A and B are shown apart, each in its own frame.
Chain A
Amino acid sequence: MPSQLSFTGFAWKNLWRRRLRTLLTLCGIGMAIGAFVALVGFSRSFEHEWQKLYSSSGTDIAVVDKNFMNTAVNQSLLGKVRAVPLVAQAEPMIFNIMDITPDVNALMFGWLEDSYEFNSLTFSSGSRFHNGKPELILGELLAKSQNKKVGDTIELEGSPFTVTGIYHGGTALEAGAIIMPLDQLQQLSSLQGKVSGFHVHLRPAPSGETTEHYLKRAQLQIEAALPGLNAQPAADRAANNQFVGLAHAVAWGTSGIALLMGILGIANTMAMSVFERTREIGILRAIGWKAWRVLLLIQVEATVLGFVGGFIGIGFGWAALYLLSTLPQTASIVSTSLSWDHLIEAMAISVLSGILAGAYPAWRGSHLSPVEALHHE
């Protein structure tokens, strides 16, 4: 069977003729897409872990101040939250981040010893802490990285705390966290009498009422009972809190810059390629290729770069996430699971980058006069 030449095969041969340049361009777009996959994947994973954190504990609504970072809600308001008819359980909580070694920081949660939020945790050793005592429990990821077991002590802000339990929870956030008595974290954070907010578990919705409507009704009741505070459905709270918002913004901003560099890389490669192949384009035009077919050829080459670069980028991105998930500094907030939506989005962005980057070189190449192109030196 004689060698068969297809249109896409021809495009691929054109790319492969300058292997080094093509590979460097693929690395460029691969790095850009890798940055997108890793950073946006990281921020989404962070959001996802927050959502799991709420859903696994059974929290339906988070009652917080206007600003999540402001932990100035009075703990004394707990009674008012619990008095709202639709509320089954309400727990005060403090959320914070603290350095536990110069290199490693950890998420800190302050709970009451009988909080319903313990329901989502399973103790692999030891048990709960006690209110009023310098005790804490460790997520197993953190316990492993810090080589701690039940009975050991951890020094926080100069004070020793005894590890009473090691747990594994449903989320990466919990697996890398410290949970301690609310009063102890208030003391460490100099926030006596204050909490980050209240987590609320609602009574079952009456039959016939949609979850959405029920949540809205509960929100209004809680906000009416606690003027000035926000009652937000847990899913909204997870998606819109400042930490997640900041992570999304940084991820998209950084990825955007990386993608721009990648697009410029492809555009440069294609522009150089068109310039170097001016005579060949003249030959194609001379033997009957229409301008749009030349345009399509160059555009296909750029798109192939975007497509292959997308695959490489997904590989880079996953590798970066894997690396981050093994580092003690980031293990608690990084998951290597990438959703299909995210991968498809990355491929679409990569292919679109190729199309965009190839547009001008393709237009230029297709508009060359056959005679001038043939005489090009």
Chain B
Amino acid sequence: MSSPQFEVRNLRKHYDDGRIEALRGVSLTIEAGEYIAISGASGSGKSTLLQLLGGLDTATSGEVLFEGATLGKTVDLDTYRAHRVGFIFQAFYLLPTLRAIDNVQVPMLAVPGDTKSRAERAEALLLELGLAHRLNQYPNELSAGERQRVAIARALANHPSVLLADEPTGNLDSVNSARIMEILTGIQKKRGMTLIIVTHENDIAHAAPRHIRIRDGRIEA
């Protein structure tokens, strides 16, 4: 029997010298190719869990195993973030001085490759996401939905096996929100990727095949 893609063991995360307990012993397993929604109230610890799964931060105690290797110990977090996971944020976090196509190439600068093939891949991703006419626009020239699509292309730049999205529709209207969810789930199915979405929107959470609720730093039964 193969091991799960993620195995989270008794994860705890404290801030402010232990005065704030964001996670209080979270354990779960995630299989490769799953689509999971994590929901909870503001401050419940759902974004902290996503950050620890994505190797953006380290736990106070407990561990996250990715394909059987412990993040931060046997797996270098920078390498893990560069090659294995793609992040999508609520606020898009595109670099304002770069055109859409250049933004998509930024993660590729962290891995070996030549500029021509990087540019071609960035173009292909943006075309796939319906942004053929927006390649050379700067972020401030794009609509919110277009910005999030550029951010999705950027997250896919280095062929990750996991997509981590923190409130990806939080800054979008309902039409764009639906479009982005359609794109994300389409990518998940088409590429067989693991998709983990943190959301406070019930309809998005309920639409996912697996829904995890976090409350006060613990997974609700």
Binary contact track B92-114/A, C-beta < 8 Å → 1, others 0: 01011111011001110111000
Q: Could you tell me the distance between the alpha carbons of A43 and B111 in the complex, rounded to whole angstroms?
A: 50
Q: Which of A3, A287, A293, A371 has the most CB of B within 10 A?
A: A287
Which B residues between 37 and 87 are near A, CB-CB below 8 angstroms? 51, 54, 56-57, 78-79, 81-83, 86-87
Q: List 8 A-B contacts (CB under 8 A).
A: A2-B120, A3-B119, A5-B115, A10-B98, A13-B98, A17-B97, A287-B87, A369-B57
The answer to whether A207 has its CB under 8 Å from any CB of chain B is: no
A286 to B51, CA, bound (A): 10
- The stretch from A121-129, A160-168, A277-285 touching chain B is A277-285
Chain A count of residues within 8 A CB distance of the other chain: 28
Inter-chain CA distance A2–B105, complex, in Å, is 11
Q: Is B158 close to A, CB under 8 A?
A: yes
What's the nearest-Cβ distance from chain A to residue B162, in Å? 13
Tell me if B101 and A2 are in contact (CB < 8 A): yes
Task: Assess the A2–B158 pair: CB atoms within 8 A.
Answer: no
Q: Is the CB of B120 within 8 A of A371?
A: no
Please measure, in the bound complex, the distance between the C-alpha atom of A293 and the C-alpha atom of B97, giving whole angstroms.
19
Pair count A-B, CB < 8 A:
93
B123 within 8 A of A: yes
B136 at the interface (CB under 8 A from A): yes
- For residue A369, which residues in chain B have a CB less than 8 angstroms away from its CB? 57
Q: How large is the interface on B (under 10, 10 to 19, 20 to 34, 35 or more residues)?
A: 35 or more
Does A6 touch B at the CB level, under 8 Å?
Answer: yes
Task: Tell me whether A13 and B97 are in contact (CB under 8 A).
Answer: yes
7 closest Cβ pairs, A-B complex: A288-B82, A2-B123, A5-B105, A287-B107, A4-B115, A288-B81, A4-B119
Q: Which of A5, A369, A371 has the most CB of B within 10 A?
A: A5
A280 (CB) vs chain B CBs: closest residue: B95
With an 8 A cutoff between CB atoms, is A374 at the interface?
A: yes
Distance to closest chain B CB from A239 (angstroms): 50
List residues 271-318 of chain A with CB under 8 A from any CB of chain B. 279-280, 283-291, 293
Chain A binding site: helix, strand, loop or mixed by DSSP?
helix
Are B110 and A283 within 8 A (Cβ)? no
Contacts of B79 in A (CB 8 A): 288, 290
Q: A7-B109, A279-B93, A293-B110 are in contact. Are A288 and B78 (CB under 8 A)?
A: yes
Cross-chain contact B109 with A5 (CB below 8 angstroms): yes
**Distance in Å from the Cβ of A137 to the closest Cβ of chain B?**
65
A290 CB, min distance to chain B CBs, angstroms: 4
| Cβ-defined partner of B135 (8 Å) among A3, A5, A283 | A3
Give the chain A neighbours of B97 by CB distance below 8 A. Answer: 13-14, 16-17
With A4-B116, A5-B118, A286-B81 known, 4 other A-B pairs at CB within 8 A are A5-B102, A287-B157, A289-B82, A374-B56
Q: Do A370 and B109 touch (CB < 8 A)?
A: no
Chain A residues in 8 Å Cβ range of B56: 285-286, 370-371, 374
Expressed in whole angstroms, the Cα–Cα distance for A94 and B98 within the complex equals 69
Q: Is B81 touching A287 in the complex (CB atoms < 8 A)?
A: yes
Check A1 for interface membership: any CB of B closer than 8 A: yes
- In the bound complex, residues from chain A placing their C-beta under 8 Å from that of B57 are 369-371
Given A2-B135, A5-B119, do A287 and B154 touch, yes or no (CB 8 Å)? yes
Say how far A18's CB is from chain B's closest CB, in angstroms: 9
Known: A5-B106, A371-B56. A287 touches B82 (CB 8 A): yes
CA distance A27 to B78 in the complex (A): 38
Specify which chain B residues have a CB less than 8 angstroms from the CB of A374 in the assembled complex: 56, 89, 93
Residues of A126-168 at the interface with B, using a CB-CB cut-off of 8 Å, are none
